[in-house]
Amino acid sequence: GQDGSYLAELLLNKGYEVHGIIRRTSNFPTTRIDHIHKDLNLYYGDVTDSSCLSRMIRQILPDEIYNLAAQSHVKVSFQEPVYTSNSVSIGTLNILEIIRDIKEDLDKSIRFYQASSSEMFGKVYETPQKETTPFYPRSPYGVAKLYGHWITVNYRESYNIFGCSGILFNHESPRRGETFVTRKITRAATRIKLGLQNKLLLGNLDAKRDWGYAKDYVEAMWMMLQKETPEDYVISTGETHSVREFCELAFNELGLNYRDFVSIDPIYYRPSEVDLLLGDSHKAKTQLGWTPQTSFNDLIRIMIENDLQLAEKEKFYASR
Ligand code: GDD
């Protein structure tokens, strides 16, 4: 996924030997890593398949494991709750069990990063949300992430495993999947600009999110695992914006008014919504020295620039 590709780049730049798991699909799901493909060790696997995982991890004996595996789409999790729970919750447990066994059998410690999510705050108890804010998840995905979060804390406390949860707020990039709202908007706005499509259907425009740049966020994942003691950290920008604002800025960037093109389709509403997320990453700033480097406006600009090029290519091929 998006984060796996940025993290792999970061680790390769630091001189790591990087092993990654990809799921088998009928087409090649590797476009995000094609440029670094030759430097990676890739395996077919799935976090829900514990015997395959165990064989692989015992063979590699890594120093660090980053668990970014998930059915990560919140809306889809209402349609596929069991698969979402298996991959997000049991998948995490499967990895922790293997780390626990390897520690006992071989006396080898493996540091573990768990991709926790601001979705766990859901119907928020306080704003901004920080590490001590109580959780109130609002989707099968959020509930499953909560299990992954607490089982990581529990294995840390029970078996002295070096496990950290990064509670990451939304993070986007040109590599973001096209069904997440930011990328859906930047893809559509640029295609509209070039006459390749004429409208964009969205759901709740009033939802507010704390959106950062994925490339900045994978840095925080790595930083957590380099600390002396394992802890959990909120990673966020400390700014919140509505989906409407994102639309406005993205279309403005292209000299367009989003009101002329965006319509609401209730099909994109969620059975229960997370209305507002805003993170306080003071702990990460002071303890890890991590700060987000990319502003909201710059993030939109980066995504629009990338998607404009994609749309131009698309137009070129369509005209041949
Ligand atoms: N996907 C989508 N599509 N969302 C829409 C749309 C639409 O057409 N219209 C409005 N939205 C609203 C959603 O209702 C939600 O409130 C907000 O846009 C953001 O939706 P997503 O981009 O799908 O992200 P998310 O916030 O639900 O979840 C993402 O962030 C989490 C971190 O808080 C995912 O990346 C999760 O995996 C991640 O954990």
pLDDT digits (tens, 9 = 90+) for 245-283: 999 999 999 999 999 999 999 999 999 999 999 999 999
In the chain, which ranges are continuous DSSP H helix? 2-13, 50-60, 74-79, 81-85, 91-106, 140-159, 181-193, 214-226, 243-253, 282-283, 296-318
Distance 285 CA to ligand 1 centre (A): 26
Lowest mean pLDDT among 77-81, 91-95, 198-202, 316-320: 316-320
- The percent of residues above 70 in pLDDT, for the chain, comes to 100
Confidence of residue 115 (pLDDT cuts 50, 70, 90): very high
Predicted TM-score (pTM) above 0.85: yes
pLDDT at position 63, please? 98
Q: Residue 12: is it exposed, middle or buried by C-beta count within 10 angstroms (0-12/13-18/19+)?
A: middle
Cα–Cα distance measured from residue 63 to residue 112, given in angstroms and rounded to the nearest whole number:
9
At residue 29, the pLDDT reads: 80
Average of per-residue pLDDT across 215-238: 98
Strand partners, 41: 19
Ligand 1 atom closest to the Cα of residue 72 is: 37
Using the predicted structure, report yes or no on whether residue 27 has a pLDDT greater than 90: no
pLDDT in the model for residue 319? 83
Nearest CA to ligand 1 atom 16: 207
Average pLDDT over residues 121-149: 98
What is the average pLDDT score of the chain?
97
* Ligand 1 centroid distance, CA of 181 (Å): 6
∠ at Cα 71 (11, 243), nearest 5°? 90
Q: Can you give the pLDDT at residue 149?
A: 98
Atom of ligand 1 nearest to the CA of 74: 27
For residue 180, report the distance from its CA to the centre of ligand 1, in Å.
6
At 70 the three-state DSSP class reads coil
pLDDT tens profile 168-190: 999 999 999 999 999 999 999 99
Interatomic CA distance for residues 105 and 97, integer angstroms = 12
Q: For 231, phi and psi rounded to 5 degrees?
A: -145, 175
Q: What average pLDDT does range 115-137 have in this prediction?
A: 98
Residues annotated as catalytic (active site), given as ranges: 117, 119, 141
- CA separation for the pair 52, 261 (Å, rounded): 47
Q: Determine the pLDDT at residue 26.
A: 87
Neighbours of 211 (CB within 10 A): 24
Q: Which residues line ligand 1 (CB under 6 A)?
A: 72, 74-75, 117-119, 169-170, 179-181, 184, 202-204, 207, 209, 243, 268, 270, 273-274, 277
Pocket test residue of 181, 182, 263 for ligand 1, highest count of atoms within 8 A of CB: 181
pLDDT of residue 320: 79
User: What band does 28 get if pLDDT is binned at 50, 70 and 90?
Assistant: confident
Q: How far is the CA of 274 from the centre of ligand 1 (A)?
A: 9
Which atom of ligand 1 is the closest one to the Cα of 117? 39
Amino acid letter at 232? D
**Residue of 74, 165, 204 best suited for mutating to test ligand 1, as the one with most atoms within 8 Å of CB:** 74
The answer to whether 136 and 123 are in contact (CB under 8 A) is yes
